Amino acid sequence: MILRVDRDVLHEFDHLISTRGFKTRNEWFRAKVREFVEDCKKEEMMQKLAKLNSESITEDEIVEMVKDWRTKKGKK
């Protein structure tokens, strides 16, 4: 990826990334891309987990589901 940046901004950027522990701009960029991908995966998982909301299921229904599952598992 090629970006055009003013020389003064670039020098300030280099100083800031070095104070954050990065040796190069490329290292910083890779870290940011990894962070972005991880955030996307977390968001996707949170959306899936939100679909599993069990507020409308009663405890008796859960017990019945477990009993049914055990019965089916025992028949195999």
Question: Considering the domain boundaries, does residue 30 fall inside one?
Answer: yes
Question: Considering the domain boundaries, does residue 23 fall inside one?
Answer: yes
Q: What is the pLDDT, as a whole number, of residue 35?
A: 96
Q: What is the pLDDT, as a whole number, of residue 41?
A: 93
Residue 35, helix vs strand vs coil:
helix
DSSP single-letter state for residue 51? T
Domain count, the chain: 1
Question: Considering the domain boundaries, does residue 72 fall inside one?
Answer: no
Q: What is the pLDDT, as a whole number, of residue 1?
A: 77
Residue 34's Cβ-side half-sphere holds a number of Cα atoms within 13 Å equal to 6
Q: Torsion angle, CA of 57/59/60/61, rounded to 10 degrees?
A: 30
Q: What is the pLDDT, as a whole number, of residue 55?
A: 66
Q: What is the pLDDT, as a whole number, of residue 54?
A: 63
Q: Which domain holds residue 44?
A: 1-54
**Distance of alpha carbon 8 from alpha carbon 12, whole angstroms:** 6
Q: Which pTM does this prediction carry?
A: 0.56
Question: Considering the domain boundaries, does residue 39 fall inside one?
Answer: yes
Question: Considering the domain boundaries, does residue 24 fall inside one?
Answer: yes
Mean pLDDT split into 10-residue runs, the chain, 76 residues = 90 94 94 96 85 72 87 77
